[in-house]
Amino acid sequence: MTGMDKATWHRYRKKLHRVIIYVLVLLTLAVFSCPILWMVSVALKPAQETFRFPPTFLPVEPTLENFGKALNPVFLRYAFNSILVASSTTVLTLIFAIFSSYSFSRLHFRGRKPLLVVILLTQLLPLAVLIVPMFRILSGLGLINTYPALIIAYLTFTVPVAVWFLRGFFYGIPYELEEAAMIDGCTRLRAFLTIILPLSLPGISATGTYVFFVTWQELLFSLAFMTSKSMRTLPVGVLDFIGEHVTDWGALMAASVLVCVPVFVLFMFMQNQLIAGLTEGAIKG
């Protein structure tokens, strides 16, 4: 094979590789987009059109009636509960994780590596395993059907993940910056607050966004620990539209769209920080 043939074959293989990548991306996008688009379509359809055969992907007579059904006072109460619990969990998780991950990345103390292994092993346990013991503990403390019960339950799986994310990010910050600040007279805490913490904001933003996403969509703990209807969160609240004999599919899909909107909006504003923070923590440390 001549040099020209090799160059031609190399260009052909490169183009073929790019085409295959694009096709795979488009297929993946279609697989994940179709359920979301169908959810929006059903939310915009009147009741009689939902069960039309053959079904139509685009609404023939679009309506916002289903969104009116979904946006009732009870649903708004669910939204308030979700915002309160998700925000509180995110703030507490970041407070615990920032100082813990900094200690694991900068301080050398006895048992540091075994503790990191234990933190990692906690992620191997399915959440269903934790429900019964946590319910007994929270019930004994009189916290069932309260916001603290759900926040404490969420911290059991958000803090370990946040510690691992931020630990990798702190490792990527040169220790010489902190050392220079301490030589100039700063204490370790002041050097952390004035030097390390501002440089860690992309990683902290990414971790906080991830924690908010996870707690916003969590169903199992909310279903188990919130016994009264007024304390339900949105993932549990949308089940109100599923009756024993009849399901209001239009209102159910409209409520599902409303639950997804804050996540999509937050991701649009935070996607650069989220991607940069997670990749930074993944390749360093």
Residue 150 to residue 238: CA distance in whole angstroms: 18
DSSP tally for the chain: helices H, then strands E: 14, 0
- pLDDT-derived band at 284 (thresholds 50, 70, 90) equals very low
- pLDDT for res 283: 46
What are 64's two structure tokens?
């916002």
- pLDDT for res 285: 44
- pLDDT for res 123: 76
Least confident of 135-139, 231-235, 275-279: 275-279
- pLDDT-derived band at 105 (thresholds 50, 70, 90) equals confident
What region does 145 belong to: left with phi over 0, alpha with psi -120 to 50, or beta? left
User: Taking 50 as the threshold, does the pLDDT of residue 192 lie above it?
Assistant: yes
Residue 62 to residue 64: CA distance in whole angstroms: 7
- Return the higher-pLDDT residue of 277 and 187: 187
User: How far lies 155's CA from each of 79, 96, 161, 203, 244, in Å?
Assistant: 20, 9, 10, 19, 34
For residue 46, whether the previous peptide bond is cis, meaning omega lies within 30 degrees of 0, is no
Percentage of residues in the chain having pLDDT higher than 70: 92
What are 177's two structure tokens?
């910056």
- pLDDT for res 276: 62
User: Taking 90 as the threshold, does the pLDDT of residue 245 lie above it?
Assistant: no
- pLDDT-derived band at 196 (thresholds 50, 70, 90) equals confident
- Return the higher-pLDDT residue of 144 and 178: 144
Q: How many CA atoms lie within 13 A of 227 on its CB side?
A: 9
User: Taking 60 as the threshold, does the pLDDT of residue 247 lie above it?
Assistant: yes
Q: What is the pLDDT of residues 256-270, one digit of tens each?
A: 999 988 888 887 777
- Return the higher-pLDDT residue of 3 and 231: 231
Residue 242 to residue 172: CA distance in whole angstroms: 48
User: Taking 90 as the threshold, does the pLDDT of residue 186 lie above it?
Assistant: no
Least confident of 6-10, 63-67, 227-231, 242-246: 6-10
Percentage of residues in the chain having pLDDT higher than 90: 19
The structure's pTM equals: 0.81
- Select the highest-mean-pLDDT range: 84-93, 110-119, 185-194, 241-250: 84-93
What are 92's two structure tokens?
């507490």
Residue 238 to residue 248: CA distance in whole angstroms: 11
- pLDDT for res 168: 81
CATH T-level assignment (fold) for domain 66-283: MetI-like fold (1.10.3720)
- Give the domain ranges of the chain: 3-50, 66-283
Which are the contacts of 129, defined by CB distance < 8 A and separation ≥ 6? Answer: none
Residue 141 to residue 73: CA distance in whole angstroms: 31
- pLDDT for res 205: 86
Q: What is the pLDDT of residues 162-173, one digit of tens each?
A: 988 888 888 878
Region 226-234 average pLDDT? 89
- pLDDT for res 5: 63
